[in-house]
Structure formats: C-alpha cells, structure tokens
Structure 1
Amino acid sequence: MKKQRLYIAYAAAVISASALVSSCSKILDLEPHNSTFTSAYFTSESDAKTALSGAYSILRNIMIRDNSWHKYGDIVSGELSIDGGRDNGNFNISNGEFIGLNVGSGNWNWQQYYQLLQQVNLIINKVPGIPDTKFGSVDTKRHVIGEAYFLRAFTYFYMSRIWGDVPLKLQPDLDVSTAKNIPRSPADSVWKQCLADLESAKPNLDFGYDADEGERAVRANKGSAFALQAHILAWKHDYAGCAEAANTVITQGGYALQSAGDYMKVFIGKTYEGIFEININDAQSEGLSLQNNPGFGVTMKSPFIDGKDGIEWPVNTNFVNMLYGKDSTTDIRYKNFFFASQGAEGQIIKFSNIAYADGAAKKDARLSNNLIIFRLADIMLLRAEALHALGQDGDAITLLNKVRERAGISDYDAVNDLGTSILEERLRELYFEGHAYYDLVRTKELPNYNEQFGSDQFQNGAPTGGWLWPVDPAMFKDDYTLTQTPYWRGKL
C-alpha cells in the first residue's frame, strides 16, 4: 500500500492544550481529545468543545510556527530590511527567492494545515449528530458548528493565498487505511467553497460576546465570518460583495475603533476593535517564550527585550519614510510602531508587551501580544477600497478619514490618487500585521513597493505563479496526484 500523505491528522498530531491553550476554564482551555477517530467519541457537549479546542490549538501553532503569519504576509512586502548575516533564509525570501539553499522546505509544506482541516472536518461531520439534549444549551452546539465552518473557510483561504491551488478535502478520514490522495483544486473552487462554508457558519454564530467577554475576538463569531467574507471577495475583486460584507461588520458587529489614547491596547488584544485574534496572553500562562521561540524577538532588541543586542528584522527606513514621512511628527502610529526607525537597526515595537517569567532576573522574556488577524480599522479600509472601485468615492473618503483622524493626521486632501491613498493607509495602519504582501499582490502593486521582488517574476507568474509559493517536493513521494506550482516547475 502506498504511504498516504498527511491530509490525515493522526490523533497524536492534535497537540497538547497545555502548550497551546489558555489555562482559564473556557472552551479554548479544554484539552483536545486524543482519540477522535473512535466511534465512541462525539457523544456529548464536552466532546464537541474539546474537539473545537483542538482545532484552535492547531491553528495557533500554525500561525506562530517560525513566524509564519508575518513570514508569508509581511516579509516579502518591502516593510523590512532583513539582516542577511543573522537571518539569511528570510533575507532571501524578502527578495522573492522562495527557493534556495537557505530557504527551508518547511515553508513549502502544507501538511500541518491538513491536520487542522481533519480536526475541523470531524467536527462538521460529527457534532450535528450529537443529540441537542446532550448540550446545556442548543446555542452551544450551533456555535461549535459555526466556528468549525469559519475555521475551515479561514484555513483554505489562508492556504490559497500562499499556494494558489490546494487539495480541497471536505470530509474527515475516519479510516486511515482507506484515505486517498486528492489533486490540487483550482483556487476559484477553493474560494467558492470558503464562501459556502461562511454561509453555513453565519446562522450558527452571533454578533458579540455577551456570555464571556474573556472570549472577545479569540473565538470566531458572526462578525469574524463577515470580515473573512469581505477579505475573500476583495481578493476575488468582487467589490460589491466585499463592500456589503464589510458594511455588515461595521454597522452590526458591535465593534469600535480604539481611542487614540488607548490605541496600543489593540495589539495586546481583546479590545472592541478586535474581530479575530490568536490568543497569546502571559497573564493566562500563554505568552510566547522568546527564549524557546527566539524568532518572535526578530523585530526588537534592547531596551524592549532585556539583554538582546542584535535584531534580525530591522525596519526598511525608506519604506517607513515613504509611508509616514510628512506626517511623522503627528501620526501616533509612527510614534508607537517604531523605535529608532532612521537607523540601521530600527525596531518594530507595536508588539512589545514583554513580560519576564523569572521576574527581576529578566532572562526568560515572554511576548504577551495577541496575534491580530482581523480588526475594525482593517475592515473599514477594505470597504473604502471596495467603494472606490465601485465609484462611490465620497463614502470611501469618509471611512478613510475616520482611520486617519484616529491616527492624528489630516483628512484626505484629494491631491493624491484615492486608490493609492487607501492602499497606503492600509500599509500604514496594518504595518507588520500580516496583510501588506497580500494587499500589494491583490492591487498588483508589489514591485512598486518591494523593488527587490522582480517585476518579471510577479508579472510572468500571474495569476498562478511567481508570487505564490512552491510545494515541498517531499510531499510528492508516493502521491502522484500533486503537481508543482507552475512558476516553480523545474526550479527546485
């Protein structure tokens, strides 16, 4: 029998909640079950909750592993001037060199995503069959189902922006011995399925977090589903649909821009601006150890991380000056996002909520900022982009100005092109939040902002190649259904 590829998530792959999930008594803190393949499982509310806990745990591990959220979403945008002496692999990646001796194959491998999808598919397949009477409230049951559909849509959309076409697997493998390899599905089909999943998620989810404010943003709700829908439709250039979905988030979600005075609380997490986040909270024994995960200190050094002298990922001073230059004296983002940005080792400090597990010794630094996926300012600017594309510039400018006013800079003056102004406001507002690369790809502006990314690679690869990542050749062993990303064929 051929060795099956890891579209199958073996029970052992569902990683321990003690390492990945908060210690509080919430759904995200429940230990993932270690035997989800048995017929005896999925019979109670506890089974459903622990399965969902396992899904969130795997997602968290994916997003923080080797800085993947920032690696895929920021490194190639031009925001950074990576020190090749300290981080040669990511220096190459920042120039669009997705292959080579210094670029690890882990960047090309999607197996962990299919572990998450196996877990989510089990929830979607099994939880509806658990009798309602096994739940304290039927709302709990529908929320679990809705969050599972959201997580599947998010995972496939995230993967499609990295690799384009990906295998679309919608059923769990209940018997490992009968699991089959499947080919890559066209990205359009993947997005269609993501949107269908969100339509399944929405009626099962609610706006707000009335039951437990401690779950704000770190569990998906109806606002998260509409925010993801807006992003998918913007990616597809369906701007009418994007504008509508974004408007639902803005007008019905119960979200609010954080005040200028408390702006940096957004990046600690769980504010009313947050829509979907990955929980990383030292107060809940969840902070990321910078000693065991040194990559998470790549944008900072002393005085923000005690005793750290070097910096792997300095800011790109030219990029910063292009975006903030004339407003640098008033823009609260320039003041709060950067430290010594005009030097060779300028730091990005928007995620600098550092705690020390060993107290005054300060040898065990912990990062305690949530990983922000979607927030209100992002959705407001995404709607502004959509409205501009639809010719509704007045409404677009109103949204743009709300974000600018919070930042302490003047309203849009109509001197610059509105589309460019909205794009650059996103680059300013969402600096190092995992969006810049995708924004520049979506708007076809990448080579204009990252001059090191060859325009030939970007243009010649469009729409299925040069800006997408290759697939790990190791995954081709015994799986003859896989094909390489077109641009990278013959290059690995």
Structure 2
Amino acid sequence: MKQYKRILFSFIPLVLFSSCSGLLDLEPETQVSDQGVISDKRTSLAALYGIYNNLQSSYPTTVTAFNLAGDNVITYANPTIIVPDRNVEDNGGAPFSALYVTINRANFIIHRVPGVVDNQFTSAERNQIIGEAYFLRALTYFDLARFYGGVQLITKPTERIDTHKGLKRSSLPATYEQVLADLNEAERLITNTTDRSRATVYAVYALKARLFLYTEQWDQAEEYASKTIATSGLALVKPYTAFYTTKLSNESIFEIVFTAADANTYWRSYLSRDDGGNQTYVPEASLIAALRDSERGGTRQQVLRESSQEPGLFAIQLYNKKDGTGSLFVLRLAEQYLIRAEARARKTNADIAAAIEDIRAVQARAEVTSVLELTATSAAEDVLAAIEHERRLELAFEGHRFSDLVRTGRAGEVLGEYNALLKESYQWVFPIPASSVEKDPALEQNPGFE
C-alpha cells in the first residue's frame, strides 16, 4: 500500500448521495413553501419525514468531510496536501446550504404544527413531531458549529432563499446555546423511546452529553452520558462488527436508515474494488497499524479489509452493504462511555478510577488484549491520552477525529505533523463557501479565508 504521511483537508469533490422516497409510509415534502402544506396530522408527518429524507442525502457528506479533515481517512487517488478553498461550492463536501435546508424544514414544523387543527391529532403525537424537529435542528446547528464556528441563527421558516439576508453570524458560544435550547425543548416534548431511526428521548440525552463535552461542562456531560448508558435496551454489542452489520442494534441510539427501495450509494466510496466499490477513501497508515495491533485495536481491526488485488491496500468496512441498506451512525453507546470517561477525568473533582472503568468497558467489548496500565492514582493527562486514543480507534470512521483534536487544542500538534498549514488555528474551521458570502455581505468569511 502507498504509505501517506500527509493529510487531506477535504476540499476535493465528494460523491453526491441521493435517496428516493421517505422513511416510512408517507412521501416526504421536498419543499414546504406555505402554511397550507402543513394542514393536518398527515402533512405534519410528511413534513417531518422530509427532514429525515434530507438527512439521508446530506449526512453522508457531513461524515465524509469530517473524516477527511482529520488524520484517519485519506483519498487513494490523490494523496497530496489539499488546503481549504473558499471558491469550491460547499467546500467540495463540507455542507453549508444543505444543512440550512434541514433547519428551514424544521422551522416550518416548529412554527406551523402547533396551530394545526385535526381531531385525529393527539397532543402526544403533535408534541413528538415538534420535539423531533427541535432535535434535528439542534443536531444540524451543532454540526454547522463544528464545521464553521458561529453561524447565522435562523429560527423562523423562510419561503425565499434570501429572507435572512443581512443577518450577522452569531458567536460559537451563542450557537451552542441555541443547540442546548433546542435540545431542552426536544427533551420536554419527545416521548418516543423505541424507534431509533427517529429521535428518541435517549438520543436527546446522548446529544446533550456530546454538547456538554464540547462546551466543557463536565458534570453535565457525565450526567447525560450516564442517563444514556443506564437506558434499558441499550448495550455494547458483540462482536464489534454487530453494531454496523445489524440495523438498529442494541448499541444504536440514533442512526439514519436506508432500504433497498430507498438505498444509499456512499458505500461505493469506501468499499474496495474487490467488493464492487471504487475505494475513493482509504484509512491512513498509522490508523491501520493501530487497528491491526490486537493489543490496541482488538476486534476493531475487522473494520478493515485487505485487498486481494493490491496487498497492503485496506478498505473500510463500516459502510459495507452493497445493496445500499447500510446505516449512518449518528449516536451510539460506545461514544457515551468515552464521553463519560473524559468528563470524569476533566471535572474539578476528577474520578480517575471511574474514567478508567469506562475506557475498559469499551476495550473489553473490542477484546483488546493489553491491560490498560492506569490506576486510580494515574495522572489525568495520562487518562485523557488513553481516551483520545480509544476515540480514534473506536469511532474511527464516524466523523469525530477532526473535531476531537480541535476542541482539545491538539489539532496543531497532531495535524501539523502532516501539513505545516494545519498548525495555524484559522485552518481548524472550514471556510464559508464564497458563493454564499457573495450573495450576503453580512455573512462574514472565517478569518484567513478572505
């Protein structure tokens, strides 16, 4: 295999992903343009499924962009350093406009569904739909913040693309405050506890735990991760591969599902030519070595497959269903253990022993053979280094690595080894697409990309 000691900052064109009809029985609304569209229970549900339909199209791009921005995934065909380019529409894969489509659809539901008159529409059903819209808006603003920093906060539906023109970008803390406010509403309204292809109470808990980790509210991160971990019906599944080979497994908290009739195509970019893919994206060499080391990677090495046509070339198996029915994993239980471990190690009254216990739970499921050489008296920085390592391996291809390095202040040190430009802090966010900035002068470009 070609050994690449370089990083790709993902501004090469990505494959566009498409989906057909909605998730369940109703066709999603592709556009919500006036109040008459959402008029009863059926059209309220159709509008909600329209948001999930948009996630089917946009979330593969989101995950791939985050993957390529870090040091876990590179491209096979063009292993060179590629720097951010504000002139590439949507940054060659870092979504901007598509995420605002999701937000606008959520805004219509949040503002219109409360006024719907329908005798067949119970209060619980109405609240569930509105709560899911709040959750999905929170998830979208959270990803926008991870990509771009503070963004324009649009909370009312718009029927024209330029309605919010002139609105200044909010700060990153204010953007996170909007995420939390939406999650609080979602927690109040959602009653779903079973269908993990849609937002549940536990998905709200899990996203709150992730948000509190990013905002360094350690006690709250521990609290909400613990709520999620304690949930009946959630468990780390064995073998390790079961969480991605089994749709909606017991480890899943929220995943974006596809069917044979409503298939994804992103698997082609990850699977090898042996399996009918084009292997556009491949794992980076140091990650391959770590995953294949049984003492560190354990059974997680099964997420890799060596090519029979080109020995030394490995393909990613996480998205391995060639019929297009593979899911995208937004929230799963292993992450919650690692969130709680980090929160316990970082909080004022650190609980090192409990943090180590959480790390060991994740390692045990992966059948890691080495004993974690940490004890209750270990230094917090040693425990945090172990957590960072576990997050890199456990969540390798789920879009966390780049943001983990940025939020912990380690992006310059780690990514700078691949590209000196990435030692500069302005490179730790994506540029707003130039076309969007040109259309709205109030939409200030991120510093360094002017």
Shorter-chain TM range is 0.7 to 0.9
Listed one character per residue, the Cα deviations across residues 35-90 of structure 1 (whole Å, up to 9, x for unaligned) are 633343322111210110111111221113xx43122x21122113422xx2x4xx
Q: How does 1:455-470 map to 2 (within 5 A)?
A: 457-458=422-423, 460-461=424-425, 465-470=426-431
| Residue 298 (structure 2) pairs with residue 331 (structure 1) | yes
Please name the residue that 2:222 is paired with.
243
Please name the residue that 2:314 is paired with.
346
Work out the number of aligned pairs and report it: 423
| Residue 109 (structure 2) pairs with residue 123 (structure 1) | yes
Listed one character per residue, the Cα deviations across residues 195-236 of structure 1 (whole Å, up to 9, x for unaligned) are 011111112113521xxxxxx321011111111111111111
**Aligned partners of 1:78 and 1:450 also within 8 Å:** yes
Distance 1:18 1:368, change over 3 A: closer
Distance 1:314 1:479, change over 3 A: closer
Which amino acid in the other structure matches residue 111 of structure 1? Answer: S
Distance 1:57 1:253, change over 3 A: farther
Please name the residue that 2:11 is paired with.
none
| Residue 400 (structure 2) pairs with residue 435 (structure 1) | yes
Distance 1:247 1:110 in 2: 33
Distance 1:180 1:81, change over 3 A: closer
Please identify, of 229-238 and 176-185, the stretch whose mean Cα deviation from structure 2 is larger: 176-185
| Residue 243 (structure 2) pairs with residue 271 (structure 1) | no
Distance 1:428 1:177, change over 3 A: closer
1:229 corresponds, among 208, 211, 215, to 208
Q: How does 1:61-460 map to 2 (within 5 A)?
A: 61-64=57-60, 67-71=61-65, 73-83=66-76, 86=77, 88=78, 91=79, 95=81, 97-99=83-85, 105-107=91-93, 110-131=96-117, 133-135=119-121, 137-173=122-158, 180-206=165-191, 208-209=193-194, 216-252=195-231, 254-260=233-239, 263-282=241-260, 285-289=261-265, 296-305=267-276, 311-322=279-290, 324-325=292-293, 327=295, 331-334=298-301, 336-340=302-306, 343-355=311-323, 367-390=324-347, 391-410=350-369, 411-414=371-374, 417-454=382-419, 457-458=422-423, 460=424
Distance 1:265 1:243, change over 3 A: closer
> What's the offset of the Cα at 1:327?
1.8
Distance 1:102 1:111, change over 3 A: closer
Distance 2:322 2:439 in 1: 45
Q: TM-score, normalised by structure 1?
A: 0.79
**Secondary structure of 2:390's partner?**
helix
**Secondary structure of 1:347's partner?**
strand
**Aligned partners of 1:182 and 1:481 also within 8 Å:** yes
Please identify, of 337-346 and 437-446, the stretch whose mean Cα deviation from structure 2 is larger: 337-346
2:440 corresponds, among 456, 469, 479, to 479
Listed one character per residue, the Cα deviations across residues 108-144 of structure 1 (whole Å, up to 9, x for unaligned) are 6612222221111010001111246341x32211110
Matched residues, percent identical?
A: 24
Which amino acid in the other structure matches residue 27 of structure 2? Answer: E
**Secondary structure of 2:329's partner?**
strand
Which amino acid in the other structure matches residue 245 of structure 1? Answer: Y
| Residue 47 (structure 2) pairs with residue 51 (structure 1) | yes
Distance 1:351 1:270, change over 3 A: same
Which amino acid in the other structure matches residue 247 of structure 2? Answer: G
> What's the offset of the Cα at 1:324?
4.8
> What's the offset of the Cα at 1:253?
5.8
Listed one character per residue, the Cα deviations across residues 274-297 of structure 1 (whole Å, up to 9, x for unaligned) are 011111232xx12224xxxxx642
Please name the residue that 1:12 is paired with.
none
Distance 2:103 2:57 in 1: 14
Please name the residue that 1:14 is paired with.
none
Distance 2:99 2:35 in 1: 24
Structure 1: gaps (5+ residues): 1-16, 210-215, 290-294, 356-366
**Aligned partners of 2:345 and 2:351 also within 8 Å:** yes
Structure 2: gaps (5+ residues): 1-17
Distance 2:175 2:90 in 1: 26
**Aligned partners of 1:470 and 1:484 also within 8 Å:** yes
Q: TM-score, normalised by structure 2?
A: 0.86
Distance 1:80 1:221, change over 3 A: same
Distance 2:285 2:164 in 1: 50
Distance 1:268 1:286, change over 3 A: farther
